[in-house]
Structure 1
Amino acid sequence: MIQPSRFTASPAASLSLFRQRSPLVHCLTNDVVQSFTANVLLALGASPAMVTEPVEAAQFSAIADAVLINVGTLTAARGEAMLAAAQSATAAGKPWTLDPVAVGALTFRSDFCQQLLAYRPAAIRGNASEIMALARQAVSGRGVDSLHDSAAALDAAVLLAQSSGAIVAVTGETDYVTDGERLVAVAGGSPLMTRVVGTGCALSAVVAAFCALPGDRLQHIAAACRVMSQAGERAAAAAGGPGTFEPLFLDELYHLHREAAL
């Protein structure tokens, strides 16, 4: 068992590089979160795009700096576009990130995500139940909700990173990021983040965007997790509840982005 080390570095270096690069992120994501995901990426200074027709998805994935594949509202037609995008991104050397929403709870998406792994994602971001299921371990889950603490999925995350070649981020009260050899714990965040639809899916998009940065990908993904948790902490301090949290969260992401220029 690899012992996790705490991520104590400031995400400022990754954010500053992110600001300089302004990555173009192709998001094949679920219907529920498209607008919020786009707004999160825009607040951080990225350029989101959502192209879903299979032929165009393949073409655009070769152009984009990074690709997100989120199977939250998976259909057969969307699966065709996602496979085309993953294949094209891999062939073009562009990093793509898998968010295996509700894998383990439902057979169609579970089989589909196993198929996607053949295209070698740069990163995988999910909750404990999703990561354990993707690693073919026994799990308990309820749709998109994990019934496991993120620490319960550490062995699965390490094994999945080793077998897939991806950086694996298992997120929860504490986020853990591993490349199969190193394991980093990222603390922080707020319970209010679980009361707003799409914060996890948006985190996957931010992870995808940070994969486009040169340098140590594990450290960049840990920084992405910390950027989101730090914005959540700041927003929660001023929010009266979920309704006021969401716009404050976007504002805090924007301020973190602006601070990176200082």
Structure 2
Amino acid sequence: LAAGASPAMVHAPEEVADFTPVCSALTVNIGTLSEPWAKAMMASARVARANNVPWVLDPVAHFISRYRKGVAQELMALRPTILRGNASEIIAMTGQIGAGKGADSGDTVSAAENAACTLARQYETVVAVTGPVDFVTDGVQSAKVTGGSDLMPKVTALGCAQTALMGAYVSIGPAFEAALATLAHFKAAGTKAAGRANGPGTFQMHFLDALATTQPDELSSVVTS
């Protein structure tokens, strides 16, 4: 909302078939997973593909249980437009064992770069790996994004918010550019908010303000090839 997007949270299996085709983009976040939600996620992703609606997958902590892993793999097989996750989530998506603990990454972004490139080529998708220095690739081109603040992981659901914003960006532009712009928007806003915050609570407030006021010409300063 602060960045100008218009999100809607719809998860009932009975209505996703009607709602998904009229959306500009779909985001699927498996953070609070249950069987009815999983059915709705699968249905939404299938409808999105059938109607050329771009969609973003956030496989939150998909390695913590067999059930969650299975759902994430089924969703990945539907070839999301963008896969966004932390380093441990991306590494585990290739079948390797990472060092993640719940939704927190225990691996470095650089350690996940090869896995990201492999997934991008295998599924013909864009993979965004988030961390202190973000990495994004489509299997051919790649970029890194610097900046932000170490307070960002201390704000609940900030990563989920980034996934939602990535959906907004991919609704109006190519996948690689959309993922890169989202990462840059968050890093630029995080840097500005950190200069005004006294802790996680005030950081969240200033971060929302920064999301709303960050201008396009500020994004290039945080992007490196």
Q: TM class, shorter-chain normalised? A: over 0.9
Q: What CA distance in whole angstroms lies between the structure 2 residues aligned with 1:194 and 1:141? A: 14
Answering whether residue 195 of structure 2 is matched by residue 248 of structure 1, we say no
The unaligned stretches of length 5 or more in structure 2 are 219-225
What amino acid maps onto 2:166 in structure 1?
Answer: V
| Counterpart secondary structure, 1:248 | helix
Q: What CA distance in whole angstroms lies between the structure 1 residues aligned with 2:29 and 2:178? A: 20
Deviations 1:20-67 (A, max 9, x none): xxxxxxxxxxxxxxxxxxxxxx11111110111112112211110011
Q: Is the 8 A contact 1:68 1:98 kept in 2?
A: yes
Deviations 1:76-95 (A, max 9, x none): 01001101110111100000
Q: CA deviation at 1:137?
A: 1.6
Deviations 1:172-194 (A, max 9, x none): 00000000111111111100101
Match of 2:192 among 234, 237, 254: 234
Q: What CA distance in whole angstroms lies between the structure 2 residues aligned with 1:137 and 1:181? A: 22
Q: What CA distance in whole angstroms lies between the structure 1 residues aligned with 2:149 and 2:172? A: 27
Matches within 5 A, 1:11-50: 42-50=1-9
Matches within 5 A, 1:146-225: 146-214=105-173, 216-225=174-183
Q: What CA distance in whole angstroms lies between the structure 2 residues aligned with 1:113 and 1:204? A: 15
Q: What CA distance in whole angstroms lies between the structure 1 residues aligned with 2:120 and 2:112? A: 12
Q: Is the 8 A contact 2:28 2:41 kept in 1?
A: yes
Aligned to 2:222: none
Q: What CA distance in whole angstroms lies between the structure 1 residues aligned with 2:81 and 2:178? A: 12
Q: What CA distance in whole angstroms lies between the structure 1 residues aligned with 2:17 and 2:141? A: 33
Q: What CA distance in whole angstroms lies between the structure 1 residues aligned with 2:182 and 2:207? A: 15
| Counterpart secondary structure, 1:170 | strand
Structure 1, 231-240 or 55-64: larger mean CA deviation = 55-64
Deviations 1:229-249 (A, max 9, x none): 111110110001111111111
Cα 1:223–1:258 change in 2 (3 A) is closer
Cα 1:259–1:160 change in 2 (3 A) is closer
Answering whether residue 16 of structure 2 is matched by residue 92 of structure 1, we say no
Aligned to 1:18: none
Answering whether residue 97 of structure 2 is matched by residue 138 of structure 1, we say yes
Q: CA deviation at 1:258?
A: 9.5
The unaligned stretches of length 5 or more in structure 1 are 1-41
| Counterpart secondary structure, 2:80 | coil
Q: What CA distance in whole angstroms lies between the structure 2 residues aligned with 1:196 and 1:183? A: 28
Q: How many residues are paired up? A: 218
Q: Is the 8 A contact 1:59 1:88 kept in 2?
A: no
Q: CA deviation at 1:207?
A: 1.3
Q: Is the 8 A contact 2:82 2:175 kept in 1?
A: no
Answering whether residue 7 of structure 2 is matched by residue 56 of structure 1, we say no
Q: What CA distance in whole angstroms lies between the structure 2 residues aligned with 1:62 and 1:257? A: 31
Aligned to 2:72: 113
Q: What CA distance in whole angstroms lies between the structure 2 residues aligned with 1:247 and 1:54? A: 34
Instruction: Name the TM-score, length of structure 2 as normaliser.
Output: 0.93
Instruction: Name the TM-score, length of structure 1 as normaliser.
Output: 0.80
Q: What CA distance in whole angstroms lies between the structure 1 residues aligned with 2:17 and 2:114? A: 34
| Counterpart secondary structure, 2:201 | helix
Match of 2:32 among 73, 91, 94: 73
